[in-house]
Structures are given as structure tokens and as C-alpha cells.
Amino acid sequence: MQLYNKLSAKERAELIEKAGKDRLTLSFYQYAKIANPKAFRDQLFIAWNALDVLGRIYVAQEGINGQLSLPADRFNEFKAHLDTIEFLKGIRLNIAIEQDNKSFLKLKVKVRHKIVADGLNDDTFDVRNKGIHVGAEKFNELIEDDKTVLVDMRNHYESEIGHFKNAVTPDVDTFRESLDIIEDDLKDYKEDKNLVMYCTGGIRCEKASAYFKHKGFKNVYQLEGGIIEYTRQVNEKQLENKFIGKNFVFDERRAEKISDDVIACCHQCGNPADIHTNCANDACHLLFIQCDACKAEMDNCCSTACKEVNALPYEEQKELRKGQGNSNDIFKKGRADHLPYKKDLRNIFEVLKKKEA
């Protein structure tokens, strides 16, 4: 019985091309009590592998977080399978704004301690006491209110290419970093401001809203379904779109265009650009923003040193990597010291003061 992916990304890409079928990219999450995550994980892999599902799915005792793609003509079968699982019956599926048949090239269903790495001890607060969920229309009203503080719950490299107008965008590399920083920087606003949060698909706000209510914030709201669902509702109901730029996504597409605005710049030359790439040198693999001109000049590398390594024969590159881990720069997500136009640090409190001035 097959319980793990056996094909390489290259082999899978060839099969997708050969099949000639359109695929749907989608995401969903659900907090629920799962007694045996390993057994549940195996059941999902068997069922979804048979449906040609590809993607990255995390299962934990606290629930499931899935980002995946599947043949469009098998969507109803997939949905029917979800409906056989009690806590997933009728769940909202966030269909991607922009589709790409190769958004995922492997099926990975992994058991994790948490479905999102939040660093929280859930026993210390009531995770069910969440903030108020609002749709796109109410969200637009709230963020125009002078009593609202709008906070982006994503990481700096996500908000760098796109965010809501007037949003506070914490300068963090991980979700767990943001929680205490936001609580501390916004402590003076707990009583008299609306704390309105958003993220990609809603999962980070789901836990954060309960945490901030526990920390004393009185009026806590979260964007239902995140940026993905917001965009769908804006298009369907012909509402004003208050998101500028692109929505960063964690698959091969890297981003979905929500508006035509380009709000970021190439980390190498400073010209307007909002396309993330990974350094072609496998020993580096740094995620950064690169324009087409720099991509051509640097052979998709982040530095001259990486360009030189990447030009070596493959076997020589492998030999150089022996016993070496990736550079620590990989964790800096576009803020490596050798990138002259990396994102500047920003402090939440300074942004708020500037907004109120």
C-alpha cells in the first residue's frame, strides 16, 4: 500500500503535461480534535493519491491545514470525500484566484505538532473564544473607521509585495514572532480600538484572534477566509478592492495578482518588481525579489558568488555541498546583507503614530 510520494517533481510535471487536464489549486483549514493524526494522515494520503491530489497538507491533534491541487474534473469526488469526514463536511474551500497546473508537484501529507507554527501553549487560553469573522463588505467598512487598527498577520516578505491600504505590516520572519510584538506595540489600543486582522486564507487569524482576546483586546475582528476569499467576494459583489499588489502564496506560483499595483522593488537593482524567486544555487536557495533584467544578468542567482557556483558542472556543485547545510541567508527571506535593496525594517508603533499625525 503506497503511503508516500514516489515520483520526482520532474516526473510529475511530465505526467501533468501528458494528461492535458486543467487542475484546480485550493486551500482549506479546520481546527478540530484528531485523536490519531498518523492514522488520519495515512487515510488521507490513500484517498487523495487515488484522486491525483498534489500538495502540502499538515495534520495535527488540533486539526488540518491543506494547500493542494487536483484535476478540475475530480473536484466533486474530492468534495464528496471531505463530506465523509465529520469535521470537514461542508467546509469552505478557498479556490485560488490564479490557476497553474503545476502549482504543486508532489503529494505531501505530514503529521505536525501544530498545523501552524504559532509557538503558543493552547492550554493557557480558550482557543474557541475567537474574534468576530467579517466578510469583504463589512471588512471594507471597518478599515475605514478611525477607531480601527488593521494588522497584517503575515510575514514581511509576504506583505512586501501586497497588503491592504493603511495596514500595519509587522517586520517579522515568522508568525510566532509577530504575536508578542503586536501585543506589545498595540497595548495602548486594547480598550478603544478595533483590532482587525487578516492573512492569506484565515488560519493564522483564527488562532491569533483568540490569543489577543485573551490578552485583553476588547474588539477583535478577522477577515473571513483571508485575502483569497476577500478577492472572490470583491469580484462577485463588485465591491471596492482595498488590497494593493499581489497576494503571496506558498506554492510554485509564489503569488496571485490582486491589483495592478507594483509596490515592491528588485532586491538587486531597486527597480519596481514583485516576483519572488529562489537563488538558483542549491547551496543558497535564498528567497528574494528579482526583476527580469537582473535575472538574466545574474542567471537567477542572488550574488556573484552564487552565480559562479551555479555555473560549475553539476557534479562539482554537489561536491562543494557535501557536508554543508544551506547558508543561514536562506532564513532571511530576502534580507541577506548582500542585497542592496532589501526591505527596510519598520516598527508598528512608528507606523501608527505616522497614521495618526
Residue 330, pLDDT score: 61
Q: Which residue has the cell 494522515?
A: 41
What would the DSSP string read from start to end of 139-204? HHHHHTSTTEEEEE-S-HHHHTTEEETT-B----SSHHHHHHHHHHHTGGGTTTSEEEEE-SSSHH
Residue 355, pLDDT score: 53
Which residues of the chain carry a pLDDT beneath 70? 324-332, 344-357
Is 345 buried (19+), middle (13-18) or exposed (0-12) by CB count in 10 A?
exposed
Mean pLDDT value across the chain: 92
Distance, C-alpha 348 to centroid of its chain: 21
Going across the sheet that includes 23-31, the strands are 94-95, 23-31, 63-71, 54-60, 107-111
**Is 266 an annotated catalytic residue?**
no
Count of alpha carbons within 13 angstroms of residue 176, beta-carbon side: 8
Which structural domains are found in the chain, ordered by start? 19-111 (3.30.70.100), 123-239 (3.40.250.10), 276-332 (no CATH)
Residues 6+ positions from 278 with CB-CB distance below 8 Å: 285, 286, 287
- pTM confidence score: 0.89
Of 199, 265, 291, 306, catalytic: 199
Strands 54-60 and 107-111: parallel
pLDDT tens digits, one per residue of 95-120 = 999 999 999 999 999 999 999 989 99
**Spatial separation of the C-alpha atoms in residues 226 and 231, rounded to whole Å:** 9
